[in-house]
Amino acid sequence: MRQIIFDTETTGMNFNSRDKSEGHRIIEIGCVELIDRRPTENYFHQYINPEQTIDPDAVRVHGITNERVAGEPTFAAILKDLLTYLDGADELIAHNMPFDQSFLNREFKLAKAGFKLEDRFPLTDTLQLAKNKVPIAKHNLDALCKYYGIDNSNRSLHGALLDSQLLAEVYLRLTTEQSGFDFAATAAAQTTTPTETIMTTTSANSGSWQRISISSEEAAAHQAYLEKIRQ
């Protein structure tokens, strides 16, 4: 089974509309792959130029500025790569899935993709899973990490890839109390350059390499995360 856990960051949200994505765009997407409930190092991570201004309130949440994404590709430009990565997934998983789902569907519509996320993939909302299972007052990602004893000390701001990694750990605990991340086992397979990281999957059925372009800052942040959880 191939499951993709993902998260998005956006220019903001429309508090006055039932559709929170109305008038807003995605500026970052991060995806983590699970094969047979085991994490691989096959990630998808991309900053996106939303072609509009990011709300100041949103910047305070995720720290992504207009200047940071000004030189990034548009969503339409990365859509083919994203769909190639998602192709063959048995399930997509997100925390508060309706939020991310609405933003992706808005981007699909603007890119004239001709379909919605739910047309192609089964969707699972970990927020709803947590509300049904975990007896705490709040069920946001920070609260669930605290409940399950998952170290999220690197999460001073929201970030799509880090949040997806944390959510993968939460999801495995939510569904079987399993802790699935073992980054140390695959860290030796990583090769980092100033402009990109090449990562390989760790599933028994795949030895293929996946090339993902990321900045040197993102590569350094990811390596710091790996070192921290190996301590």
Question: Which residues are known catalytic residues?
Answer: 158
CA distances from 62 to 36, 100, 161, 189 (A): 31, 15, 12, 30
Measure the CA dihedral 220/161/193/211, to 10°: 170
Determine the Cα–Cα distance for residues 201 and 210; give it in Å rounded to an integer: 8
215 Cβ partners below 8 Å, 6+ apart? 195
